[in-house]
């Protein structure tokens, strides 16, 4: 037998002893009344408006006088109840407390309009709501528009929250801006840890760890399955020669300028690609430009030599392995340039852009002087 079969009034007035606990001076007695009254309401879910109104009044009075532990216990019991009265949830959420956080994060009876108001009430409330399961798309948009980094990180860390379209792209761009300009990687890390990795995460390619970069490239490849292969516009051999010549002749500034021109990006982005010690962004950039594997090897080795012969960059080819697909690389470069996804597989080639006239020295002659092979260049 359950208590609801004997008790008609959820305020427990049918049982004088239980009812008297509500007016006891002992916090322990009042907590017992709260526990029993809450259990009874959840078990019976009364629908009579007058009965519910009396229950709300009695519970509100007790919650106002209850300690934080008692309020949290009530919040936990009411959270799964679809008919928990809105005013009762409001009483739990009236103060920034653990009970408030729990109710906002877990209570299923909240209407979207109530959650919208709670988001604007305080950062703490917004963080709790950002952790809810199965958030309505409108609530997701409202949360994603907040300025507080903790709210955004909570939302990004909630893998049940659907982040897509303009909302996702805006978060990715804000995460990159925070990481690059302020050194704050929290939002970028939270977004990069979401599974499964999506091609849109290419916006954060420079912020990603090596394993995450591989996942981004593979996601970009998967997005092209079943679609016609985009026509590749090969780079002119003279353009490749210019890049290779600048690399092997140790002209870093010229190399960055040529790379920026080839990728049709700002010099600052080209510099970040070159400066990355792992060599992965540079390998992806060169793959996007259609550089042959032997050209990739020579340029990466040359950049390693310039950086002090640590040979970190040349190892990028082994790490990226089959993930280094040209179309995927082109999509990553387009994302870093903030281009729409539809343009990602178009020509990131310097064929359409003017390049400086070739110098008298050629990559072949420089390579010959260096030993004519990557292995001999390494020994040098």
Based on DSSP, count helices (H) and strands (E) in the chain, helices before strands. 22, 0
> How far is Cα 254 from Cα 338, in angstroms, rounded to an integer?
24
Q: Specify if 326 maps to a domain.
A: yes
Is residue 33 assigned to a domain? yes
First to last CA, the chain: 87
Q: 9 falls in which pLDDT band (50, 70, 90)?
A: low
Tally the domains of the chain.
2
Q: What is the structure's pLDDT at 11?
A: 67
Examine residue 202 and state whether it is found in any structural domain, yes or no.
no
pLDDT digits (tens, 9 = 90+) for 294-304: 999 999 998 88
Is residue 29 assigned to a domain?
A: yes
- Please give the helix or strand (H or E) that residue 270 lies within, else none: helix 267-275
pLDDT at 202: 97
pLDDT, tens only, 130-147: 999 989 999 999 999 999
- Considering the domain boundaries, does residue 207 fall inside one? no
Tell whether 212 is covered by a domain. no
Question: Among 165, 169, 177, 171, which Cα is nearest to 207's?
Answer: 177
Task: Give the domain-ending residue among 92, 110, 128.
Answer: 110
Contact between 132 and 158 under an 8 Å Cβ cutoff? The reply is yes
Q: Is residue 58 part of a domain?
A: yes
Tell me, what's the pLDDT at 17?
Answer: 74
Nearest to 288 by CA among 269, 304, 301: 269
The answer on pLDDT for 232 being more than 70 is no
Within a domain: residue 269?
yes
**Confidence check: pLDDT of 211 > 60:** yes
Structure tokens at 364: 């072949």
Query: What is the spatial distance between Cα 113 and Cα 35, in angstroms, rounded to a whole number?
Result: 29
Nearest C-alpha neighbor of 273 from the set 288, 256, 251, 291:
256
Share of the chain above pLDDT 90, in %: 54
Last residue of a domain, one of 71, 94, 110: 110
| Closest alpha carbon to 331 in 187, 211, 227, 186 | 227
Domain closes at, from 110, 132, 150: 110
**Host domain of residue 70:** 3-110
153, pLDDT greater than 50: yes
Spatial distance between the Cα atoms of 254 and 359, rounded to a whole number of angstroms: 12
């Amino acid at each position: 037998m359950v208590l609801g079969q004997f008790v008609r009034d959820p305020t427990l007035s049918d049982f004088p002893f239980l009812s008297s606990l509500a007016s006891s001076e002992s916090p322990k007695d009042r907590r017992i009344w709260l526990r029993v009254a809450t259990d009874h309401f959840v078990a019976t879910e009364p629908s009579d408006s007058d009965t519910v109104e009396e229950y709300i009044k009695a519970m509100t009075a007790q919650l106002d006088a209850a300690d934080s532990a008692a309020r949290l216990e009530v919040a936990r019991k009411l959270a799964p109840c679809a008919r928990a009265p809105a005013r009762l949830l409001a009483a739990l959420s009236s103060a920034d407390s653990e009970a408030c956080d729990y109710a906002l994060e877990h209570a299923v009876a909240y209407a979207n309009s109530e959650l919208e108001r709670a988001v604007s009430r305080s950062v703490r409330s917004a963080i709790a709501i950002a952790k809810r399961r199965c958030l309505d798309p409108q609530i997701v948009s409202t949360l994603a528009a907040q300025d507080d980094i903790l709210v955004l990180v909570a939302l990004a860390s909630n893998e049940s929250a659907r982040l897509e379209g303009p909302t996702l792209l805006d978060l990715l761009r804000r995460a990159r801006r925070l990481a690059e300009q302020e050194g704050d990687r929290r939002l970028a890390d939270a977004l990069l840890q979401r599974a499964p990795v999506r091609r849109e995460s290419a916006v954060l390619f420079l912020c990603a760890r090596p394993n995450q970069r591989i996942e981004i490239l593979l996601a970009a490849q998967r997005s092209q399955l079943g679609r016609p292969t985009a026509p590749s516009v090969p780079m002119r051999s003279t353009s490749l020669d210019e890049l290779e010549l600048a690399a092997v002749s140790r002209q870093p500034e010229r190399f960055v300028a040529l790379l920026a021109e080839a990728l049709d990006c700002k010099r600052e982005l080209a510099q970040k690609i070159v400066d990355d010690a792992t060599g992965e962004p540079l390998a992806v950039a060169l793959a996007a430009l259609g550089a042959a594997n032997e050209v990739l090897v020579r340029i990466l080795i040359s950049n390693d030599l310039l950086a002090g012969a640590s040979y970190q960059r040349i190892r990028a080819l082994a790490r990226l392995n089959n993930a280094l697909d040209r179309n995927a690389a082109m999509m990553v470069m387009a994302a870093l340039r903030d281009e729409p996804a539809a343009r990602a597989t178009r020509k990131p080639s310097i064929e359409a852009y003017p390049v400086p006239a070739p110098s008298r020295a050629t990559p072949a002659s420089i390579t010959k002087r260096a030993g004519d092979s990557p292995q001999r260049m390494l020994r040098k």
